[in-house]
Amino acid sequence: MEQIVTLILDSGRSGLDMGLYILLPIMVVMLALMKLLDAKGVLSWISNLLAPVSRIFGIPGLGIFAMLKLLFVSFIAPLATFALMDKNGTSRRYIAATLAMVLAMSQANATFPLSAVGLNLGVTLLTSIVGGLAAAAITFYLLTRHISDPETSDQVVERVTDDKKTVIQILGEGGKEGMKIVLDMLPMLILAIFLVNVLKVTGAIDLISSIIAPALALIGLSEATVLPLVTKFIAGGTAFMGVTIDLMNQGVITANELNRMAGFATNPLDVVGVAVFAAAGKRVGQVVRFAVYGALCGMLIRGVLHLLIF
Residue 107 has pLDDT above 80, yes or no: yes
Q: What is the pLDDT of residue 162?
A: 55
Instruction: Render pLDDT for 277-304 as a digit per residue (tens, 0 to 9).
Output: 998 889 999 999 999 999 999 999 999 9
Tell me which amino acid residue 303 is.
G
Residue 37 has pLDDT above 70, yes or no: yes
Assess contact for 307 and 219: CB atoms under 8 A.
yes
What pTM, to 2 d.p., does this model score?
A: 0.77
Highest mean pLDDT among 5-19, 81-95, 122-136, 196-210: 122-136
Three-state SS for 9?
Answer: helix
The upper half-sphere exposure of residue 17, i.e. CA atoms within 13 Å in the direction of its Cβ, equals: 7
pLDDT, averaged across the chain: 85
* Distant-in-sequence contacts of 202-206, Cβ < 8 A, 24+ apart: 205/230, 205/231
Question: What is the DSSP code string of 185-245?
Answer: HHHHHHHHHHHHHHHHHHTHHHHHHHHHHHHHHHTT--GGGHHHHHHHHHH-HHHHHHHHH
Q: What is the pLDDT of residue 159?
A: 53
Q: Whole-angstrom Cα distance, residue 81 to residue 63? A: 8
Domain chopping of the chain, boundaries: 2-309
**Interval 221-239 mean pLDDT:** 83
Least confident of 41-45, 174-178, 223-227: 41-45
Residue 154 has pLDDT above 50, yes or no: no
**Between 43 and 131, the higher pLDDT residue:** 131
